[in-house]
Chain A
Amino acid sequence: MSKLIKDKVLADNEWTVINEGDSTAAGQKSILPLSDFIALAEKNEVDFNTQACWLGAADEAELLAPYIKDLQLIGLNFTAFMDGRSFSQARTLREHLDFAGELRAIGYFIQDQMFYLTRCGVNAFEIPDDADIESLQRSLTDFSESYQAACDEPQPLYRRRV
């Protein structure tokens, strides 16, 4: 299982990402692809204690609106790190749908994106086993100040300047 950084520190990773077409093992905490999740949810068959959902970059975050209170975790999957749609999905989930659970970046993102992702509301990152944790944590705190309001800072700098 991949390592996890959650709320800026190394944490246990209890959830397994299920790819499209894969099946899940019983009792395993699984992050399902959106289509599988929706199919279960429409039949009222989701066990929210062991089942969560991940979005591909092209998926519409708003589709999760009916389940947003029950979901413990939502994954945002990067197939290519240059694809920045997940950044907007994250803010949509946090700011429009008021998602309060764990928002986890999975797939191919790079450590230099983690600061921005955090600002957009992502609080957990699945990272490769050989990742240099120290360097990665340093990237998480690249900046101590930001101009814009975002999920980590409700007020833009101009409302805070003295």
Chain B
Amino acid sequence: MYVYDEHDRNIVKERVEQFRRQTNRYLDGKLKEEEFLPLRLQNGLYIQRLAPMLRIAVPYGMLNAPQLRKLAHVARHYDKGYCHFTTRQNIQYNWPALEEVPDILDELAEVEMHAIQTSGNCIRNVTSDQFAGVARDEIIDPRPYCEIIRQWSTFHPEFAFLPRKFKIAVSGSESDRAAIRFHDIGLQLVQNESGATGFKVLVGGGLGRTPVIGSVVREYLPEKDILTYLEAILRIYNLHGRRDNKYKARIKILVKAMGVEEFTSRVEKEWERICDSQMLLTDKEINRAKSFFTRPQYEELNEAEESQLLIGLAEKEKGFKDWLQHNVSSHKVDGYRAVTLSFKATGIPPGDVTDKQLEALADLSERYSFGEVRATHQQNMVLADVKAHDLYDLWMELRPLGFATANIGTLNDMICCPGGDFCSLANAKSIPIAEAIQREFDDLDYLYDLGKIELNISGCMNACGHHHIGHIGVLGVDKKGEEFYQVQLGGVQGNDAALGKVLGPSFSGHEMPQVIRKLIDTFVDNRTQDEEFIDTYRRIGIDPFKERVYVKAN
């Protein structure tokens, strides 16, 4: 994991002091509300429906044990004893007091954390793959590049007042787990024919009101050119992106309006002027960044023996077997596994975690996984480096903590934004819908039979719950002041990215479990053998689903 040096520490410290001065000026009436607004947003501070909300950055999802303990401490002393993991691998506190935010930031700085650029019209926290560094299908570890981009984007003087927010994701593996096709910039690490590292660059993807799949602007960009190229893209966007209408201000709209070709040629032209500048990366810097993400001290284990042991244990205990099958993934090192802790126990708002759980997590990470955890954009957590022969003990410890629900990848492992219970932008509540669906599908074995189904729920068009790219997407809408839910089908987030299609007229909240039930029944009736939901959908199309769901109305 990246470790701050004195420069990084100093920058974060100066930020806390800067924000304290800004907050004081605001509280003293010397800084106008509307002028304080972008400043606090760039420090992750929203004024929400019930209280301020503070969003903390978790750069590309990585956290260590001291950070988890600090987060627990903040949850206990400044909040109501819990926090929430977002779909962008960040953390939110829902009840901090405005006056105390500088103190919270001060505390977080002690463990090299901050809230820098977690909101506002600037470059946001860069996200990546939760299995970075351990995935078997990894081409290149994306984390050193994420860190390089994080530093470049932090307090970038030119791009703090963009037309709109700007999100970058990096993937280093064959199968994309970072949703790079749905970011303002998506970067795929690749190797060219001669084995040199570079990036495939996608621009203009995004969800929200106008969902778009990103376009490739460069098939291969040498690694050292990444910062100058990003700078060229951002400059074109900053100068030409629309500022008259916030719903048309994202880069995706600019790319569409200009056309990919024209946009690309402008970027390339700008880039030619700056590609030889001092922002060209150096081998030294790339190696420095890589030095923080080296192989941990893995033990030499015998894969055959380890998996034999697991098979034996699994045969004896079904619960363990289920967990092994659903929550544990392969690892590139023999005898190791990556474990996903489910934050989707029925009745707990997806992504919510208490101070006690955070502390327990810190202990577990130290005992089982080199003291590190990763947040996932599905709002779960990963212990990335667990020895196979420790899995049973870990499972036993996870169960009382509520992290062992063996539902990863199932319908009940839904992505769900905070929605109307917390978010002032919401059209409808999302958490109660998630819970009602979880209760409707409470038979784990049945869920396993259904296979992989991604259900994503957003409380409004802003799409924090990524509803466009769920196999089943649910969107909260407002109909004459009442909460309704629109259903979409067929969204996919990975390599074969697709946007969901609207099923038809929306439903009231209490209808939703039955609507999902009918969709699932349609799938089951039409499915061939072990076909997955999304494949059945792609084969038979939306009509059979529509007919089943709306039959009563006709």
A61 → chain B closest CB, angstroms: 9
Residue of B15, B162, B284 touching A84 (CB-CB under 8 A): B162
Say yes or no: A85 contacts B7, CB within 8 Å.
no
Residues of A110-151 whose CB lies within 8 A of B: 110, 112-113, 115-117, 119-120, 132, 135, 138-139, 142-150
* CB 8 Å contact bits of B1-45 with A (1 = contact, 0 = none): 000010100110011001001100100001000010011000000
Most chain A beta carbons < 10 A, residue from B227, B278, B279, B282: B278
Quick check: B238 and A148 within 8 Å, CB to CB?
no
A82-B277 Cα distance, complex, nearest whole Å: 28
Q: Is B332 an interface residue (CB 8 A)?
A: no
Query: Count of A residues near B, CB < 8 Å?
Result: 39
Contact partners of A89 in chain B: CB under 8 A: 239
- Chain A binder among B84-92, B130-138, B147-155, B510-518: B147-155
Q: A112-B22, A132-B30, A157-B151 given as contacts; is B239 within 8 A of A88 (CB)? A: yes
Let me know if B312 is at the binding interface, CB within 8 A: no
Instruction: Provide the residues of chain A in CB contact with B35, threshold 8 Å.
Output: 81, 110, 112
B155 near A158 with CB under 8 A, answer no
Asked if residues A146 and B5 are in contact (CB atoms below 8 Å), the reply is no
Total interface residues on B, using CB and 8 Å?
A: 43
Verify B285–A150 contact, CB threshold 8 A.
no
Query: Once bound together, how far apart are the Cα atoms of A161 and B155, in whole Å?
Result: 18
Contact status B7-A161, CB under 8 Å: yes
Contact in complex: B121, A82 (CB < 8 Å):
yes
* List of A residues within 8 angstroms of B288 by Cβ: 158, 161
- Interface positions of B from 231 to 271, Cβ below 8 Å from A: 235, 238-239, 243
- Contact residues in A for B152 (Cβ distance below 8 Å): 147-148, 156
Is residue B157 contacting chain A, with contact meaning CB distance below 8 A? yes
A149 and B277 form a contact (CB under 8 A): yes
Q: Does B480 sit at the interface, judged by CB under 8 A?
A: no
CB neighbours of A120 from chain B (8 A): 157-158
Q: How far is the CB of B113 from chain A (nearest CB, A)?
A: 17
Contact B238 A85 (CB under 8 A): yes
Q: Kindly identify which residue among A84, A112, A135 contacts B39, using a CB–CB cutoff of 8 Å.
A: A112
Q: In the complex the two chains form, is B278's CB within 8 Å of A154's CB?
A: yes
* CB pair B11 A147 closer than 8 Å: yes
Q: Given contacts A132-B30, A148-B156, are A143 and B11 in contact (CB under 8 A)?
A: yes
Give the complex CA separation of A73 and B277 in angstroms: 26
Residues A145 and B157 in contact, CB atoms below 8 Å apart: no
* A115, A142, A144: most-surrounded residue (chain B CB, <10 A): A142
Give the residues from 148 to 197 in chain B that come closer than 8 angstroms, CB to CB, to chain A.
148, 151-152, 154-163
Interface readout for B275-319 with A: 1 if CB under 8 Å, 0 if not? Answer: 001110110110010000000000000000000000000000000
Instruction: Take A132-B30, A156-B278 as given contacts and tell me if A91 and B151 are in contact as well, using a CB distance cutoff of 8 Å.
Output: no
Question: Closest CB-CB distance, B333 to chain A, in whole Å?
Answer: 30
Residues in A whose Cβ lies below 8 Å from that of B235: 88, 91
Docked-complex contact B161 and A113, CB < 8 angstroms: yes
Contacts of A119 in B (CB 8 A): 157-158
Closest Cβ of chain B to A103, distance in Å, is 14
Query: Does A84 lie within 8 Å of B161, measured CB to CB?
Result: yes
Taking CB atoms, residues of chain B closer than 8 Å to A159 are: 278, 282, 285
CB pair B238 A88 closer than 8 Å: yes
**A150 contact from B7, B158, B160, Cβ within 8 A:** B158
If the complex has contacts A82-B38, A159-B278, are A150 and B239 also in contact, measured as CB distance less than 8 A? no
* B25 and A87 within 8 A (CB): no
Q: When A112-B22, A147-B151, A158-B288 are in contact, do A87 and B161 touch as well, CB less than 8 Å? A: yes
Q: Report if A144-B278 is in contact (Cβ < 8 Å); known contacts: A83-B161, A96-B273, A116-B160.
A: no
Of all chain B residues, the one with the shortest Cβ separation from A150 is B157
B5 contacts A144, CB within 8 Å? no
**Bound-complex Cα distance A132 to B30 (A):** 10
Alpha-carbon gap, A70 to B235, bound state (A):
26
Contacting residue for A155 out of B7, B10, B278, CB 8 A = B278
Q: Which residues of B have CB within 8 Å of A147?
A: 11, 151-152, 154-156
Contacts of B15 in A (CB 8 A): 143
- Given A138-B21, A157-B151, A158-B288, does the pair A83, B10 have CB atoms closer than 8 Å? no
Task: Sample 6 A-B pairs with CB under 8 A, ordered by A number.
Answer: A84-B159, A84-B161, A88-B238, A88-B239, A112-B22, A159-B285
Q: A84-B160, A144-B10 known; 5 other A-B pairs, CB under 8 Å?
A: A113-B160, A115-B157, A120-B157, A147-B155, A157-B151
Give the 6 A-B CB pairs with smallest separation, nearest first: A84-B161, A119-B157, A116-B157, A158-B285, A149-B278, A147-B151
